[in-house]
Amino acid sequence: MTAGEVRPAAGRAGAAADAMRPEPAPLRPNGRPLGRYAIMAVVNRTPDSFFDRGATYAFEAALAAVDRAVAEGADIVDIGGVKAGPGEDVDTAEEMRRVVELVAAVRDRHPGVVISVDTWRAEVGEAVAAAGADLLNDTWGGPDPRLAEVAAAHRIGLVCAHAGGVAPRTRPHRIGYDDVVADVVRHVTAEAERAAALGVPRDAILIDPAHDFGKNTRHSLEITRRLGELTATGWPVLVAVSNKDFIGETLGQPVEKRGVGTMAVLGVSAWLGARVFRVHDVAGARRALDAVAALAP
């Protein structure tokens, strides 16, 4: 097969039907159970976010964004201090400056919300865990294996993602997989089992196919269509698709016009069994997921 191609999967209709579980596995990243569909709100303390262009970079702006997200129904707040894509270098000290104080403030202000931190660095994970974080969101697929050890030591949650082995903040050229979904399932389940063996609570571990991370648009679409293969593993699945490039390229829309496409992908993902949805538009996502819940068996 050529680079970027994906193999079709057999029995997708059956996988889709099997994905809807009336009684999903327990998910308790901070000891409190989350419902069938949990919303993770994006709050970026970065000056160069692809979506908000630094609107929540200032401390007070970030804290206000958390307040709005919680008021709109967010179950989890995901705080990030480094832009995902290429850009200005952000070292460990600067990342901690951006996120640790905010985590502590959110913990004090919203004691019941699940606080997630988007980082791949163990040093940052250690600092935010001490500040009150409940979940470490390792979107780059485990480049620092010590991060899982941090989660285990603090008995907090971990997101195990797939990025195809690429270095953080890079966009590989012409990446290919024999079967992207099989590669994702193999990697994230191995990472999840390793985390559990280290002592991370099993009901605080999520898996994330990481749309667009180490993948092209065809890969991200294939993952979306076959998401039931991830939910069938039994691990709770997180999807982070909000306003991403694969939606924009598929629909021919710029970042600011990808909202409708985002809601469509959220609906498909929920129907196929996803549990946690990382989004910019909390209120819109809550309405969409409530509609799916009303329609689902």
- Measured CA to CA in angstroms, residue 116 lies from 45, 147, 225, 255, 265 at distances of 13, 14, 27, 24, 22
Residue 14: predicted pLDDT:
41
How far is it, in rounded angstroms, from Cα 62 to Cα 84?
17
Each of the 297 residues of the chain gets a pLDDT tens digit; together they read 433 444 444 444 344 444 444 456 789 998 889 999 999 999 999 998 878 878 999 999 999 999 999 999 999 999 999 999 898 899 999 999 999 999 999 999 999 999 999 999 999 999 999 999 999 999 999 999 999 999 999 999 999 999 999 999 998 888 999 999 999 999 999 999 999 999 999 999 999 999 999 999 999 999 999 999 999 999 999 999 999 999 999 999 999 999 999 999 999 999 999 999 999 999 999 999 999 999 987
3 burial class (0-12, 13-18, 19+ CB within 10 angstroms)?
A: exposed
Alpha-carbon span 297 to 290, nearest angstrom = 13
What is the predicted pLDDT for the residue at 23? 59
Q: Give the tokens for residue 161.
A: 């993602």
Q: Is 255 exposed, middle or buried (0-12, 13-18, 19+ CB in 10 A)?
A: middle
| Domain topology for 34-295 | TIM Barrel (3.20.20)
Q: Tell the residue number behind the tokens 């999967």, with chain if given.
A: 9
Identify whether the C-beta of residue 99 lies closer than 8 Å to the C-beta of residue 119. yes
Q: Where are the domains of the chain?
A: 34-295
Note the pLDDT tens digit of each residue in 176-215: 999 999 999 999 999 999 999 999 999 999 999 999 999 9
**pLDDT of 59:** 98
pLDDT of 203: 97
Q: What is the pLDDT of residue 172?
A: 81
Q: Distances from the Cα of 17 to the Cαs of 14, 68, 138, 228, in angstroms?
A: 5, 35, 30, 8
- Please state, in angstroms and rounded to a whole number, the distance separating the CA atoms of residues 280 and 42: 5
Q: With contact defined as beta carbons under 8 Å apart, do 176 and 2 qualify?
A: yes
Angstrom distance (rounded) from CA 111 to CA 274: 26
